């Protein structure tokens, strides 16, 4: 399965090479910001895993589809949507690193700091963040151009556009809740957190691309429904693993500072379980750490130790095991060739065991 994903990533990158080259030639007549932004976006895209984009082709081929160029084009649109969300998300969270390098708005901070310094009429950090928002918006516009220009029948195109619009709306509303949760002193419930994981990450990361590939292959509604349910379980597992890596991972592997979710006071399930269990001095200290301005190495070591000692890690392991088992059960219900089921099982195992 990893070989398949790597192959599709390479093909999507090739598509971006030609597509963004044409876009740069077009916008170069407007000003210098256009080509510069597209160069930054192209480099940013190339550093992603491109799992979502690759899964469009996977879902299409699994359902017997033969529209391979169209599936690849939809996959490229998927990666542009993902880039837009991450660029905007980093600005909201003020995360300065993404995919192992400075995030887009941080790149503009470095650029403007050297160009404007103290001469700017507004703080250059604000201008840089605004430029980052613009690049995220540009990625969205390019994604819809790619999606809207695929060569398929009008009913198929309309169905795809409706699917993407609905699922991206879900992400938007879930992101609003995530931002709101970040400012709350109290924790949302476990049910609310899992719902957030479902609609911000789960459906968007797995259900949407798999269903898009299926629709392109004229798959039956029953198969699309099964792919929808499978995507939710795989997506929750994906997010739970992200939470784990956000505390126990390696910064160079993960691509952004470990502990950033703690600094942002993200209402993860790790935080939820910790605050349910921790007492006395431990409770006081974690209240100080979540939402702190910085995370020192000794703070991270303390959190890791506390999570293990309070058996929070065991609770998270049980939940990930449950999501993995439910995903495996749904995979067996799919009416597709066994080779595709095996690849899906491999994807579940990758999600469960990945280190970045």
* Per-residue confidence in pLDDT tens, the chain, 356 aa: 888 999 999 999 999 999 999 999 999 999 999 999 999 999 999 999 999 999 999 999 999 999 999 999 999 999 999 999 999 999 998 888 888 889 999 999 888 877 776 665 567 788 899 999 999 999 999 999 999 999 999 999 999 999 999 999 999 999 999 999 988 878 899 999 999 999 999 999 999 999 999 999 999 999 999 999 999 999 999 999 999 998 898 877 766 678 888 888 889 999 999 999 999 999 999 988 988 888 888 999 999 999 999 999 999 999 999 999 999 999 999 989 999 999 999 999 999 988 87
> Total structural domains in the chain?
1
Secondary structure, 3-state, the chain: CHHHHHHHHHHHHHHHHHHHHHHHHHHCCCCCHHHHHHHHHHHHHHCCCCHHHHHHHHHHHHCCCCCHHHHHHHHHHHHHHHHHHHHHHHHHHCCCEECCEECHHHHHHHHHHHHCHHHCCCCHHHHHHHHHHHHHHHHHHHHHHHHHCCCCCHHHHHHHHHHHHHHHHHHHHHHHHHHHHHHCCCCCCHHHHHHHHHHHHHHHHHHHHHHHHHHHCCCCHHHHHHHHHHHHHHHHHHHHHHHHHHHHCCHHHHCCCCCHHHHCCCCCHHHHHHHHHCCHHHHHHHHHHCCCCCCCHHHHHHHHHHHHHCCHHHHHHHHHHHHHHHHHHHHHHCCCCHHHHHHHHHHHHHHHHCCC
Non-local (6+) Cβ contacts of 22 within 8 A are none
353: left (phi over 0), alpha (psi -120 to 50) or beta: alpha
pLDDT confidence of residue 111: 87
**Is the overall model pTM greater than 0.85, yes or no?**
yes
pLDDT confidence of residue 121: 58
Strand partners, 101: 98
CATH number at residue 44: 1.10.600.10
Spatial distance between the Cα atoms of 356 and 341, rounded to a whole number of angstroms: 24
pLDDT confidence of residue 222: 94
Domain ranges, residue 188 = 2-353
Reported as a single tens digit per residue, the pLDDT across 71-87 is 999 999 999 999 999 99
pLDDT confidence of residue 46: 92
């Amino acid at each position: 399965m990893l070989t398949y994903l790597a192959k599709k990533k390479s093909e999507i990158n090739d598509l971006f090479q030609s597509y963004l080259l044409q876009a740069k030639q077009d916008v170069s007549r407007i000003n210098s910001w256009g080509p510069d932004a597209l160069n930054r976006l192209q480099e940013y895209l190339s550093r992603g895993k491109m799992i979502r984009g690759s899964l469009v082709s996977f879902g299409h081929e699994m359902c017997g589809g033969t529209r391979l160029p169209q599936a690849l084009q939809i996959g490229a649109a998927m990666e542009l949507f993902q880039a837009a969300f991450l660029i905007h998300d980093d600005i909201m969270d003020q995360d300065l690193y993404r995919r192992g390098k400075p995030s887009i708005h941080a790149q503009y901070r470095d650029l403007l700091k050297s160009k404007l310094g103290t001469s700017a009429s507004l703080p250059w950090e604000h201008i840089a963040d605004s430029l980052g928002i613009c690049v995220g918006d540009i990625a969205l516009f390019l994604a819809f151009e790619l999606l809207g220009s695929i060569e398929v029948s009008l009913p198929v195109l309309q169905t795809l556009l409706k699917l993407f619009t609905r699922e991206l709306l879900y992400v938007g509303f879930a992101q609003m809740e995530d931002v709101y949760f970040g400012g709350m002193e109290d924790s949302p419930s476990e049910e609310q957190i899992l719902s957030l994981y479902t609609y911000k990450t789960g459906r968007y990361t797995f259900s949407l691309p798999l269903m898009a590939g299926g629709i392109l292959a004229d798959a039956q509604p029953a198969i699309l429904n099964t792919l929808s349910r499978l995507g939710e379980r795989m997506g929750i597992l994906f997010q739970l693993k992200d939470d784990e890596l956000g505390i126990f991972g390696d910064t160079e592997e993960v691509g952004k500072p470990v502990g950033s979710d703690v600094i942002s006071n993200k209402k993860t399930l790790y935080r939820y379980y910790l605050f349910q269990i921790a007492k006395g001095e431990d409770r006081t200290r974690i209240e100080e750490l979540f939402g702190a301005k910085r995370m020192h190495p000794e703070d991270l070591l303390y959190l890791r130790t506390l999570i293990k000692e309070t058996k929070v890690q065991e609770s998270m392991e049980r939940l990930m095991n449950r999501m993995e088992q439910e995903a495996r059960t749904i995979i067996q219900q799919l009416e597709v060739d066994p080779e595709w089921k095996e690849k899906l099982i491999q994807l579940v195992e990758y999600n469960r065991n990945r280190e970045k």
